[in-house]
Amino acid sequence: MNPALVYIVDEHEPVRGALAERLGRAEGITILGHSGAVDQVVQDTANDHPDVVLLEIKRTDGMGVELLRQLTHLPDPPQVIVLTSYPTEWEKEAARRAGAAAYLLKEIDSDELIRYIADLVG
């Protein structure tokens, strides 16, 4: 079985690095890259075709939901998992309407997140 190709989006580099480190060691997952810049994320996703994008929807530029929409409307869209620290009902509903495959908390156990990704890409 091919590994799940994953791209990580978070404004905070230490968070991106930690997720890449944790998930990159998992069998069955390949980290394609990570970024916090909206334009870079859309370009990388369109070029590299990840299976899954892990997206922190809370952004200082307010572009989280719009970025989610852009990703889910690409010609070959990835599954987008919103991975957030501070959930809100409004945000959860906005993510669902914008096409998120899931809305999870960052406190999720690494093994559980890995299983979730594997199940999502089948």
If you average pLDDT over residues 18-39, what whole number do you get? 94
Domains of the chain, start order: 4-121 (3.40.50.2300)
The count of residues in the chain is: 122
Q: pLDDT, tens digit, for every residue of 54-101?
A: 999 999 998 999 999 999 999 999 999 999 998 899 999 999 999 999
The whole-angstrom separation of Cα 32 and Cα 105 is: 22
Position 87 scores a pLDDT of 87
The reported pLDDT for the residue numbered 15 is 94
Q: Average pLDDT of 21-39? A: 94
CB-CB contact of 9 with 2 (8 Å): no
**DSSP assignment of the chain:** -PPEEEEEE-S-HHHHHHHHHHHHTSTTEEEEEEES-HHHHHHHHHHH--SEEEE----TTS-HHHHHHHHHTSSSPPEEEEEESS--HHHHHHHHHHT-SEEEETTS-HHHHHHHHHHHH-
Closest to 58 (Cα-Cα) out of 31, 25, 32, 95: 95
Mean pLDDT of 98-109: 95
Question: CB of 50 within 8 A of CB of 32?
Answer: yes
Contact call for residues 41 and 7 (beta carbons, < 8 A): yes
